[in-house]
Every structure is written in C-alpha cells, then in structure tokens.
Amino acid sequence: MTTLSNVKQSPSVGSSAKPAVFVDGASGTTGLGINERLRLQNDVVVKSIAEERRKDADAKRALMEEVDLVILCLPDDAAKETVALIDSMGAGAPRVLDASTAFRVASDWAYGFPELAPDQADKIRAARKVSNPGCYPTGAIALLRPLVDTGLLPADYPVTVNAVSGYSGGGKSMIASFEDGTAPAFELYGLGFEHKHVPEMQLYSRLTRRPIFVPSVGNYRQGMLVSVPLQLETLPGKPGAAELHDALAKRYAGSRYVSVMPLENEAAKSGRIEPEALDETNMLELYVFASDKHHQAVLVARLDNLGKGASGAAVQNMRLMLGLPEK
C-alpha cells in the first residue's frame, strides 16, 4: 500500500496549525453532510473554491496545494480525473479520501471501514489514499467478515444480502421523485445483478462466491437495514445464536461506533425493527435474530445511510488520516 513517505505530512496533534481540508463536490448529499459535520468541529480548517472555478483544473490544483486532505464527493469519472491531478502534484500532493465507488476495490487504496479488522484503523492513518465505503457494504461486511474470519461461515457460502434504504441515498433524481410524490412507496432495484456495491461487499467480506444482493428503497428520507438470512444447519458445526453473537461481539469489543446488540432486546421481543433509529449519527448496530426451533437466523445491521454509510464515515476517516482523536 502506498504510504506518505513522498507526500505532504499533516500537522501533528498538538501543533499550532490546524489541518486544512477541501471537500470537492460539496453540493451532493454526502458532501453536504460532511460540511455540516465539519461545522461542528473546531480542529480543522475547511477551504473552498468559488463555484464558477470549481471545474478549473488550475484553480483546483492551487487550492489542493494548500490543504492536507481532499475529500472527493464526485461521480466516479470526475473522481478519477481529480485523483490523476493529485497524483501529478508530487511532494505537494494532499492525501485523498474518495467517497465514490471508483477506487473501493483498488489494491493501492486503504478501505475506509476502520472496524473491518484490528489493524484497519492503522492502515487508514498511514495511507495516502482511502476509499470511503458504500452504505450497503458497510452493513453487510460488518456482519459477514467476523463470521468468515472465525470459520463460522464458509467463504464459499451462498450468501444473500437483503437491504432497504431511505431515498436520500439514491441521488438527486430519486430524491426529487419521492419528494414530489411521483415515486412508488417501495421498490426493489438492482435486479440485473450488477449493483456497483457487490464487488466491495464480496472482497472485504472475504467471500469467494459472489453474494446475491437485493437492495430496495422506501418512502422515507434516510436510515437503512441490511439483513443476511442463514440456514444454521448448513453451516460448519451448526452454530447457534450465541456463537454467532459471540463472534461479532469479540470483533467489535471496545468500538466507539459499532455496537453488537444483546440477543435479548426490544426488537427480538417484538419481532420488528425499523430503519430510522440511528439517523444523524455515525453509529452502526448489529443484531442476531435466531430460532432454535427452526435452526434459522437473520443477521441485521442498522445504520444511517447518510451517517455511518456516507458522511459520518468520511469524517471518521478524515480524523484518522489527520491524526485527530475520535469525536
């Protein structure tokens, strides 16, 4: 992985200079969310470019020479162009955190899910380039990776991931259609089996068999549920709920932002769980619902698709990359 030996270093914690950040593409939902979160923090300086010069490569380059970190909230092609510009800057290049899907499975980029593995946060701190995860993969990987790592779930298991998100994750046209009342109340999508989140979902879950992913969108603004059904008798050792829960709890012990909920909880008692409880937070909750009678389980992740699924995660990664404490 490329490190910072040949690029500009960020100010160290405790120095008089605050690190400077440029959010490129601040008009979309992720960029707006990042800027809103940054306004609540006093230990970074946010720099911007005049709207009429936003596509001026020279103006952008000049601004990027002044900052320690660039956060890209751009479409894939535009993100690739900007990264190429950053790469051409040599020792004056800032570090880069990209929120698009352009580099999420690139081998020379660190994956920006700090809770992925015990050493992942350190990889993010050291990396020159970090890819911010997708919202759906954040939930799926959080559920699957610990089970694959411990051998409870074979890497070639035929995994199915079902998920529902609020419409804010679908871009400007989807948001407009829901807010003007022309969109349906609920719909499945991605039924061509080519959803752009599948590659990172498979890679970072360490699955050797491509999972089936069925996303959906509901008529509410934000909040997400990601679920993975399991036939427990088909798994090695036929694990029960306690073993699945223990594997998740051990992986995320001590995590500030990821919580493994007790087996006995209000959702388990009611048999229901709703998607909006974590809106406007960077939190991620993981649940194990299981039936000993039927030897079946459903793993569920709940998060804000604009929080831990996008802007919240970006700010968490930004703070790691700049050597700032969790906040």
Q: What is the pLDDT of residues 37-89, one digit of tens each?
A: 999 989 999 998 887 777 788 899 999 999 999 999 999 999 999 999 999 99
Burial category of 186 from C-beta neighbours within 10 Å (exposed 0-12, middle 13-18, buried 19 and up): exposed
End-to-end CA distance of the chain: 27
For the annotated catalytic residues, the residue numbers are 135
In this predicted model, what pLDDT tens digit does every residue of 307-322 receive, in sequence order?
999 999 999 999 999 9
pLDDT at residue 13 above 50?
no
Crossing angle between the packed helical segments 135-150 and 241-251, to the nearest 10 degrees: 110
| Dist. CA 301–CA 250, nearest whole Å | 16
Fill in the amino acid letter for 110: A
| Dist. CA 95–CA 128, nearest whole Å | 5
pLDDT at residue 239 above 70?
yes
Percent of the chain with pLDDT over 90: 85
- Average pLDDT, integer, range 196-216: 98
Question: How many beta carbons lie within 10 A of that of residue 3, not counting itself?
Answer: 11
Identical fold at 20-133+310-321 and 135-305?
no
- Average pLDDT, integer, range 153-181: 93
Fill in the amino acid letter for 56: D
pLDDT at residue 120 above 90?
yes
pLDDT at residue 6 above 70?
no
Fill in the amino acid letter for 165: S
Cβ-contact 314, 34 below 8 angstroms: yes
18-32, 216-230, 254-268: the lowest-pLDDT one: 18-32
| Dist. CA 255–CA 115, nearest whole Å | 7
Domain boundaries, the chain: 20-133+310-321, 135-305
Closest of 264, 265, 312, 262 to residue 284, by C-alpha: 312
| Dist. CA 303–CA 279, nearest whole Å | 7
Fill in the amino acid letter for 194: E
| Dist. CA 249–CA 116, nearest whole Å | 13
pLDDT at residue 91 above 50?
yes
Identify the CATH number of the domain defined by range 20-133+310-321. Answer: 3.40.50.720
| Dist. CA 24–CA 131, nearest whole Å | 14
pTM score, whole prediction: 0.92
pLDDT, the chain, mean: 93
Percent of the chain with pLDDT over 70: 95
In this predicted model, what pLDDT tens digit does every residue of 254-304 receive, in sequence order?
999 999 999 999 999 999 999 999 999 999 999 999 999 999 999 999 999
- Tell me, what's the pLDDT at 9? 52
The model's confidence at residue 1, banded by pLDDT at 50, 70 and 90, is: very low
The CA-CA-CA angle for residues 85, 86, 92, to 5°, reads: 125
| Dist. CA 308–CA 285, nearest whole Å | 10
Which single residue is written with the structure tokens 């569920």? 300
Cβ-contact 308, 275 below 8 angstroms: no
158 vs 4: which has the higher pLDDT: 158
Overall CATH class of domain 135-305: alpha beta
| CB burial string 90-120: b at 16+ within 10 A, e below | eeebbbbbbbbbbbbeeeebbbbbbbbbeeb
- Tell me, what's the pLDDT at 170? 82
pLDDT at residue 11 above 60?
no
Fill in the amino acid letter for 319: R
- Tell me, what's the pLDDT at 31? 92
- Tell me, what's the pLDDT at 162? 98
Which two three-digit tokens encode residue 174?
Answer: 């989807």
